[in-house]
Amino acid sequence: MTYHALVNEGRKRLLKAGQGEQAAQLLMVELCSLKDINLYMVMDEEADEQIQTDYLEGIHLMEKGSPLGYVLGYEWFYGYRFTVNGNVLIPRPETEELVALVLGLFDDHFADRDHVNVFDVGTGSGAIAISLSLEEPKMDVIASDISKEALDVAYENNKQLNGRVSFIEGSMLEPFIDRDLHCDLLVCNPPYIPAQEKMEHSVVDFEPHVALFGGEDGLKFYREVFERAHEVCTDHAVMAFEMGWDQGERLRKLALSYFPKATVKVHKDLSGKDRMLSVEL
C-alpha cells in the first residue's frame, strides 16, 4: 500500500470508531520522521514495510480509544520530546501557554537575579519543570508528584533532555514543607476536572485518574496549595496555575480569599478562554 492509501484507511477506521480522524495522519507523520522520511514527499510511494506494520497496529490501538501519545510513547511539548505512558497525563498544548506565562513572570519579577528557586507541584511527566529548566538557566527547579511511577517517567525525561530538575515524592506542598524548602516561583497544573464531569472515553479509560479529577467542584487541589503556600513561598513570590476554562472567576475569588493583598490575574489562552491564574504575593 502507498502512504496515501494507508492514511486514508486509517482515517476511515478512526472515523468509524468514533475517534478523531486527524490522528491518522499525525501518526504517519511521526512514524515517518523516526526514519527521516518526509511523508509529504513520498505520499504516492509504496510504504516502508515496518512503518506499515507499526501504523496499522497504532490505528488498531486508537480504534479502541488509546490516545496518540500513548501509541507513540511520546508527546512533543514546547519543542521537546517527552516520553509518556499510562502513568502520566499526556501534556496538552494549553499547558505550553502556562510555561510561557511563567517565563514571562520570571522576566517581570526576577530578571535581575542570578538564581531563582522554582517549584513545580504535581509534575507528572515533568513537562513543565524540564521545559522551564531548559528555557531559563537561572531557574533552579524542584518538581514533586504523589506518584512514584510518574516520577520515574519525569526522571527519565529529565535525563534524556539534559534538564536540570530535582524530584521529590509526596502530595502537593507536603514534600517541600517536610524538607523546609522555599521558592520564589511556584507553578502548578493540578487535577481540576470536577468529579462528576463526563469525559471522553479516550481520556477516562487511558489517562491516570489521580491526575485528572479535582474533587466535587474541581478546586480541591488549589485550596490545598493556597492553604499552605505561606510555608513555602518567599516574600513577593509569584504563583501560576492552569485551570479549567470555566473556573476563572471562582478561582480568582478563592485566591483573593486566601491572599487579599495579592495581585491576582486570570489569563486567557490562545483560544480566548480563561486558562491560567497568576498570584503575585
Query: pTM (2 decimals)?
Result: 0.91
- Give yes or no: residues 65 and 187 share one domain: no
Q: In whole angstroms, give the CA distance from residue 42 to residue 255.
A: 53
As for how many domains the chain has, the answer is 2
| DSSP state at residue 213 | B
Residue 143 lies in domain: 88-280
Closest listed residue to residue 103, CA positions, set 142, 145, 139: 139
Residue type, 206: F
The answer on 144 and 92 residing in a single domain is yes
Query: Could you tell me if 266 and 248 are in contact, meaning their C-beta atoms sit under 8 angstroms apart?
Result: yes
Give the number of other Cβ atoms within 10 Å of residue 249's Cβ: 10
**Average pLDDT estimate for 120-139:** 98
C-alpha distances out from residue 114 to 21, 38, 76, Å: 48, 43, 29
The answer to whether residue 115 sits within a structural domain is yes
238 in a domain, yes or no? yes
**Does 182 reside within a domain?**
yes
Q: Is the domain of 61 the same as that of 110? A: no
pLDDT band per the 50, 70, 90 thresholds, residue 192? confident
Specify the DSSP class assigned to residue 193: B
- Classify residue 192: in a domain, yes or no: yes
Do 94 and 13 share a structural domain?
A: no
pLDDT band at 198 (very low <50, low <70, confident <90, very high): low
Cβ burial, residue 194 (10 Å; 0-12/13-18/19+) = middle
Cα–Cα distance for residue pair 69/83, rounded to 1 Å: 9
Please report which confidence band the pLDDT of residue 196 belongs to, taking 50, 70 and 90 as the band edges.
low
Q: In angstroms, rounded to a whole number, what is the distance separating the alpha carbons of residues 257 and 123?
A: 26
Q: What gap in Å lies between CA 117 and CA 186, rounded to an integer?
A: 9
Within 10 A of 272 (CB to CB), how many other CB atoms are there? Answer: 8
**Looking at residue 229, what is its pLDDT?**
98
Task: Dig out the grid coordinates for 195 from the structure.
Answer: 468529579
Does residue 93 sit in the same domain as residue 190?
Answer: yes
| Residue 78 maps to a domain | no
Tell me the three state secondary structure of residue 141: strand
Segment 204-209 shows an average pLDDT of 49
Stated as kind and residue range, the H or E segment containing 228 is helix 220-228
CATH code of the domain in which 262 resides? 3.40.50.150
Q: Are residues 117 and 251 in the same domain?
A: yes
Instruction: Express the helix, strand and coil content of the chain in percent, nearest 5 each.
Output: 45, 20, 35
Written as nine digits, the cell of 225 is 496549595
pLDDT in tens, 236-252: 999 999 999 999 999 99
* Residue type (1 letter), 1: M
Averaged pLDDT of the chain: 92
Percent of all residues in the chain with a pLDDT value above 70, rounded to a whole number = 92
Assigned C-alpha cell, 118: 522554582
Q: Are residues 125 and 171 in the same domain?
A: yes
The answer to whether position 121 is within a domain reads yes
| Same domain, yes or no: 94 and 20 | no
Helix (H, G, I), strand (E, B) or coil at 145: strand
Cα–Cα distance for residue pair 231/237, rounded to 1 Å: 12
